[in-house]
Amino acid sequence: MSTQGEIVELTRTAEALPATDGSSQVWLDRYTHSVMQTFGTPQRVLVRGEGPYVWDADGKKYLDLLGGIATNSLGHAHPLLVAAVTAQLTTLGHVSNFFASAPQVALAERLLQVAAAPQGSSVFFANSGTEANEAAFKMARRTGRTKIVSTYGAFHGRTMGALALTAKEAYRAPFEPLPGGVEFVPYGDLGALGRAVDGATAAVFLEPLQGENGVVPAPDGYLAGAREVTADHGALLVLDEVQTGVGRTGEWFAHQNPRHDGVVPDVMTLAKGLGGGIPVGAVVAFGPANSALLGAGQHGSTFGGNPVASAAGLAVLHAIERDGLLENVRTVGAHLRAGVESLGHPLVEGVRGEGLLLGIALTAPVGPQVVQAALAAGFIVNAARPDTVRLAPPLVLTAAQADTFVAALPEILTSADRGVAP
């Protein structure tokens, strides 16, 4: 039974949070006058979520097929995640990195377990994928070499170091000069990679599947070939699994798909789905030599590995295992792909991707129009490229829920092609 003090405290908590009433337009006006316009005008103002659904300030319901860009792995307001974070906050919310906490240690151990990392491996915790890749960049510099090889179409983050690894000119140009020594090669071209990597190469950064480039999977044999090339020259193989990791493709990590021939990286970076919506990133160093690349005092993070974020990560990993979500991702992902491809719509060229990270390839550059038409119809999707619509829904999505999107897609596509809302 709640005490009077607890009731008063709950009342004060409610007073500290913003009321969610008011129309979307009212909130958008307030947004314009208070938030930096880094992301442009928001598409909607969302106020509530449950499972794979969200509601906007005007009360409209949407099936969230983007999942916070592959982040809300358990959907919205998942009971286990809510309980884990709440319970942790009632005991220990934050400690500095002068101290350890039980959730931090337990999450590191669990990540090493599901990554099948060898003895002597270790984890560094950050708050985002960008930060994880920034740490991996620093690990590469600690080899004593400075040359880095990345790929065209790659996206590794927006900080200066992570941006240096990212090939998109529109992101890079406003902030140049960026940290140097990065060379880009075509993604999926093992010959080009082999020619670029030499004895001066510190590391190769690769995504098992390029999400921001339109959901482009690595060809069969590519990651295994990259592993061989880097090993031959003593360079690190860094796999960026920020978007593809933690069950997104139907394996714990995308590089564990059997078609990648059991490749084991030197370093793996994670974030997004690991926290289920709570900010957490991680760097997994495979083996003692790679674990030793960042010594005491050579890197840090105020909030990285804090007890609340670590509790969230543990809850996500537990729910994925307990509820059989890896199998659900494989099954529902295949069902969703087959459903879209079976439509035979003239605007659909095909579907790329793995698990629940899918890209609907279009025959015309109408991706942005598809996004708007889908919103009008009650679905949240994203145009990773003008000719590609990206789907990255919560891992809890059911086949029946996916079917509602497939059923609505023909009219969405037709409306997008005409430039009108359905």
Residues annotated in the binding site for pyridoxal 5'-phosphate, as ranges? 129-130, 155, 240-243, 302
Cα–Cα distances (Å) from 322 to 80, 243, 319, 328, 420, in that order, read 11, 22, 5, 12, 44
Cα–Cα distances (Å) from 19 to 9, 72, 82, 100, 142, in that order, read 17, 23, 20, 37, 49
Catalytic (active site) residue 168: no
- Which one is catalytic: 124, 155, 253, 379? 155
| Cα–Cα distance for residue pair 350/337, rounded to 1 Å | 9
Q: Please give the helix or strand (H or E) that residue 376 lies within, else none.
A: helix 367-377
Q: SS3 of 289, please? A: helix
Catalytic (active site) residue 240: yes
| Cα–Cα distance for residue pair 302/146, rounded to 1 Å | 27
The residue whose two tokens read 């670029």 is 196
- The angle subtended at Cα 100 by Cα 94 and Cα 103, nearest 5°, is 70
- Which one is catalytic: 205, 272, 286, 417? 272
Catalytic (active site) residue 272: yes
Q: Which amino acid is at 11?
A: T
- Which one is catalytic: 56, 64, 240, 417? 240
Cα–Cα distances (Å) from 229 to 149, 219, 222, in that order, read 12, 16, 10
Phi, psi angle pair for 355, to nearest 5°: 60, -125
As annotated, the binding site includes: 129-130, 155, 158, 240-243, 301-302
Supply the DSSP string of 131-148, one letter for each residue: HHHHHHHHHHHTTT--EE
CA count, 13 A, side-chain hemisphere, 280: 31
Residues annotated as catalytic (active site), given as ranges:
155, 240, 272
